[in-house]
Chain A
Amino acid sequence: EAAVTQSPRNKVTVTGGNVTLSCRQTNSHNYMYWYRQDTGHGLRLIHYSYGAGNLQIGDVPDGYKATRTTQEDFFLLLELASPSQTSLYFCASSDAGGDNYAEQFFGPGTRLTVL
C-alpha cells in the first residue's frame, strides 16, 4: 500500500513567521507534489519535483519555497507567512513517466493557520 505521511498535521503561526511542512513517501515514486486546498478553488499546485535535488514551479508558487532532499522527503517552506497562506496543504507522490499517467497518492494533509 502506497504511503505518504505529512507533519505536522496542524500548525498555527503568526504573520511573518517561518514554517516548514514535511512530507515523506515510502513508495519509491519519482514525482512529489505540494498542493493547497481552499474552498471554491479545489486543489492547486504549488511546487513539484521529479527527483532528489530537483524543483519545479507550480501554478501558485508565490510566497513558497520547496526542497527535495532525498527520493523520500519533500519540504515546503514559508519564510514570511501571511494570512493568505492559511489553508489545507497536501503532499502527493506518483510514479509517472512517458505515457504513464500514474495516479497520485495523497497524504492526510496539514492544516496551517496564519494569524
Chain B
Amino acid sequence: GDSVTQTEGQVALSEEDFLTIHCNYSASGYPALFWYVQYPGEGPQFLFRASRDKEKGSSRGFEATYNKEATSFHLQKASVQESDSAVYYCALSDRDMGYKLTFGTGTSLLVDP
C-alpha cells in the first residue's frame, strides 16, 4: 500500500535558521502531496499541496516541490521563527480510496528564540 516516510523525528533550530524536513513517498498511482501542521492541543491544519510533478506548493514562507522521479516532497523554510514550533506531517492523497490521507509519522520542530 501507499506510504510516507519522514526521516527526522525531531528538529531543533534557532530563529532565522534554514529548515529542511525530508519527505519521501511510495504510491502505486499518481497521488497529490500535502503538508499539514499541528500545534499543541489542536487538530492538523492544511499548509499546502502539490498535485503534479515539478509543482511547487507554498504557504506562510514554507515551500516544497513535487519530485516524481525522486518520490520526494521536502519541506523548506529560509528563516524559521519561534512561532513555527509545531509538528509537521507530510501526507499523500489517494483518489481511489476516497481521497484519504496517508500520513508520515511527523516531525517535531522546536525553534529556540
> What interface size band does chain B fall in?
20 to 34
Q: Is the CB of A90 within 8 A of B43?
A: yes
Instruction: State A45–B41 Cα separation when bound (angstroms).
Output: 20
What count of chain A residues pass the 8 Å CB interface test?
29
Q: Is the CB of B43 within 8 A of A108?
A: yes
**With A101-B93, A108-B42, A108-B43 in contact, is A43–B103 under 8 Å at CB?**
yes
Mask of B88-113 contacts with A, CB within 8 angstroms, 1/0: 01000101001111111110000000
Interface members, chain B 1-27 (any A CB < 8 Å): 1, 4
Give, as a whole number of angstroms, the nearest-CB distance from B2 to chain A. 10
In the complex, residue of chain A having the shortest beta-carbon distance to the beta carbon of B46 = A103
A75 interface hit (Cβ, 8 Å):
no
- Which residues of the partner chain B approach A102 to less than 8 Å between Cβ atoms? 99
Instruction: State A79–B92 Cα separation when bound (angstroms).
Output: 31
Q: Is the CB of B100 within 8 A of A58?
A: yes
- A58, A94, A108 pick with most chain B CB within 10 angstroms: A94
Q: List residues of A whose CB falls within 8 A of some B CB.
A: 4, 31, 33, 35, 40-45, 48, 50, 56, 58-59, 90, 92, 94, 96, 99, 101-109
Q: Is the CB of A101 within 8 A of B46?
A: no
Residue of A96, A107, A109 near B99 (CB, 8 A) is A96
Residue of A35, A45, A104 near B46 (CB, 8 A) is A104
Q: Is the CB of B100 within 8 A of A106?
A: no
Q: Is the CB of B106 within 8 A of A42?
A: yes
Instruction: State A54–B44 Cα separation when bound (angstroms).
Output: 25
B73 interface hit (Cβ, 8 Å):
no
Instruction: State A96–B100 Cα separation when bound (angstroms).
Output: 10
In the complex, residue of chain B having the shortest beta-carbon distance to the beta carbon of A40 = B105
Give, as a whole number of angstroms, the nearest-CB distance from A51 to chain B. 11
B49 interface hit (Cβ, 8 Å):
yes
Q: Is the CB of A42 within 8 A of B100?
A: no
